[in-house]
């Protein structure tokens, strides 16, 4: 515990979890100091995790002055509301907020389809996941239009949602045999711009390391030779 | 369109959708006048729906002064933020807000498990869905403790989430062979108290009609004789 009156922020996360990454980018954007604790999520969950997320036993968990907040979407809303004055991640207008939440949720779906590809066996199943994934990416591509970021000229909630799994995109491209740069040039340009932000670049994992980890995972499921 | 300067609220919904019901209870609680338009969601989606929710083509859609908001969770947040001063559904404290959102999401899971039961064939599958459903209900039962409503002494967000499918509970009980009243007496008492509110009682469908509709649905899937 920090000293009396000091704010203490602890994040329980896992380096391969896009949901942890999402929360880390939000904390960095807000300039909030926090202690990051890596969880051994596959083999040995810590007593701290089990105590602070007894319902799901999953990361990320944000512990703020001893009180836990679980589920990445709920955590990012909590961060936005608790540190209101520091670089807002959501627009203040209720309608634009609703649109931000809508597209952030949609963005999460892209990751889900990507993970379907990761868990897919060869053939038809992979082809279907690839089509769904590309379909969603094209919807986002369309949505960007002439804007710099998803919701306009300011980096925010939807950009964080997309960038939180941007290091996984290399894996999705390789397994799905597509190229974000060629197939979704606006999305690629947006991601490149987002990568210029320290909040993003210092938080994201190495795409090749993630690819290796996922190929090992596929081998463990006998989906790769 | 209403006259210039008038607020116009239209809700596209479906009477069997708990997500539509959730939004209706929230609107009623806030005392917001709105026009409800029933969609023929299974056979003939209206051009208005397709135009206002082109991504998912699903209900509910709230159209506020011509602008659409989709997805029930996003709509309830939008309602809360747009009509801030009328009976708040979320606590003002960020931590308590996060807890409300957490339990409202959890409550949605109960419905998902209930629908697994609805789509289950006889035997093992149904038994598994029943166990999951009852497990979640017991977690909620525990969470209520000595409180009148889920988050304390005030009706709010989590209560709305639970009550939005309360008319389905009779079906879940019948298919799952359990009794909410006996197995989860606190949850039953809370629901009974919520039913005293006009916002809830006038919005919920008839449990027996929902049961009949679901049995017909199961017959159409050859899950019932």
ipTM, interface predicted TM-score of the complex: 0.92
Q: Which of B64, B70, B101 sits opposite A102 (nearest CB)?
A: B70
Residues in chain A: 225
As annotated, the residues of chain A forming the CATH 3.40.30.10 domain(s) are 9-82
* Pairs of residues, one from chain A and one from chain B, whose beta carbons lie less than 8 Å apart: 54
Contact A82 B94 (CB under 8 A): yes
Using a CB-CB cut-off of 8 Å, the residues of chain A touching B94 are: 78, 81-82
> With pLDDT > 90 as the criterion, what percentage of chain B qualifies?
89
* A110 Cα to chain B: minimum distance (Å): 13
Contact A71 B95 (CB under 8 A): no
**Residue of chain A with shortest Cα separation from B84:** A94
Q: Any idea which residue has 């629901």 for tokens? A: B191
Per-residue confidence (pLDDT) for residue A6, from 0 to 100: 66
Helix (H, G, I), strand (E, B) or coil at A17: coil
Structure confidence by residue, pLDDT tens digits, B139-189? 999 999 999 999 999 999 999 999 999 999 999 999 999 999 999 999 999
Second CATH level (architecture) for the domain B94-220: Up-down Bundle (1.20)
Contact A97 B75 (CB under 8 A): no
Per-residue confidence (pLDDT) for residue A224, from 0 to 100: 82
Does residue A8 belong to the interface with chain B, where contact is any CB pair within 8 Å?
no
Contact B74 A106 (CB under 8 A): no
As annotated, the residues of chain A forming the CATH 1.20.1050.10 domain(s) are 94-220
State which fold the A9-82 domain adopts.
Glutaredoxin (3.40.30)
Per-residue confidence (pLDDT) for residue A211, from 0 to 100: 96
Task: Write the CB contacts of B207 (distance below 8 Å, at least 6 apart in sequence).
Answer: B167, B168, B169, B170, B171
Per-residue confidence (pLDDT) for residue A189, from 0 to 100: 97
In the DSSP assignment, the letter for residue B151 is: T
In the DSSP assignment, the letter for residue A152 is: B
Per-residue confidence (pLDDT) for residue A2, from 0 to 100: 42
Contact A95 B70 (CB under 8 A): no
Longest dimension (CA), chain B: 59
Using a CB-CB cut-off of 8 Å, the residues of chain B touching A95 are: 64, 67, 69, 78, 82
Q: Name B9's bridge partners.
A: B64
Does residue A71 belong to the interface with chain B, where contact is any CB pair within 8 Å?
yes
Is the predicted pLDDT of residue B35 greater than 50, yes or no? yes
Per-residue confidence (pLDDT) for residue A1, from 0 to 100: 44
Q: Which of A55, A74, A101 sits opposite B98 (nearest CB)?
A: A74
Per-residue confidence (pLDDT) for residue B2, from 0 to 100: 42
Planar angle of CA B93, B96, B98, nearest 5 degrees: 110
Does residue B69 belong to the interface with chain A, where contact is any CB pair within 8 Å?
yes
CB A21 within 8 A of CB A164: yes
**Residue of chain A with shortest Cα separation from B97:** A78
Does residue A141 belong to the interface with chain B, where contact is any CB pair within 8 Å?
no
Could you read off the pLDDT tens digit of each residue along chain A, which spans 225 residues? 444 556 799 999 999 999 999 999 999 999 999 999 999 999 999 999 999 999 999 999 999 999 999 999 999 999 999 999 889 999 999 999 999 999 999 999 999 999 999 988 778 888 999 999 999 999 999 999 999 999 999 999 999 999 999 999 999 999 999 999 999 999 999 999 999 999 999 999 999 999 999 999 999 988 887
**Residue of chain B with shortest Cα separation from A140:** B55
Average pLDDT, chain A: 94
Contact A78 B64 (CB under 8 A): no
Structure confidence by residue, pLDDT tens digits, A84-125? 988 999 999 999 999 999 999 999 999 999 999 998 877 888
CB B31 within 8 A of CB B37: no
Does residue A128 belong to the interface with chain B, where contact is any CB pair within 8 Å?
no
Is the predicted pLDDT of residue B64 greater than 90, yes or no? yes
Per-residue confidence (pLDDT) for residue A95, from 0 to 100: 98
Using a CB-CB cut-off of 8 Å, the residues of chain A touching B77 are: 97-98, 101
Per-residue confidence (pLDDT) for residue A5, from 0 to 100: 55
């Amino acid at each position: 515990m920090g000293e009396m009156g000091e704010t203490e922020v602890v994040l329980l996360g896992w380096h391969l979890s896009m949901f942890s990454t999402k929360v880390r980018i939000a904390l960095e954007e807000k300039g909030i100091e926090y202690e990051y604790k890596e969880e051994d999520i596959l083999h040995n969950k810590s007593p701290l995790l089990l105590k602070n997320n007894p319902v799901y036993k999953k990361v990320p968990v944000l512990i703020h002055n001893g009180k836990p907040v679980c589920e990445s979407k709920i955590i990012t809303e909590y961060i936005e509301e608790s540190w209101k004055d520091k670089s807002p991640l959501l627009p203040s207008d209720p309608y634009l907020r609703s649109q931000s939440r809508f597209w952030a949720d949609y963005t999460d779906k892209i990751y889900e389809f990507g993970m379907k590809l990761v868990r897919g066996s060869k053939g038809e199943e992979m082809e279907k996941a690839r089509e769904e994934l590309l379909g969603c990416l094209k919807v986002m591509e369309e949505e960007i239009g002439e804007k710099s970021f998803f919701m306009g000229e300011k980096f925010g909630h939807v950009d964080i949602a997309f960038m939180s799994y941007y290091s996984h995109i290399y894996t999705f491209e390789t397994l799905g045999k597509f190229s974000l740069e060629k197939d979704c040039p606006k999305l690629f340009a947006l991601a490149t711009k987002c990568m210029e932000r320290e909040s993003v670049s210092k938080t994201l994992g190495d795409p090749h390391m993630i690819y290796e980890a996922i190929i090992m995972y596929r081998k463990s499921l006998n989906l790769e030779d």
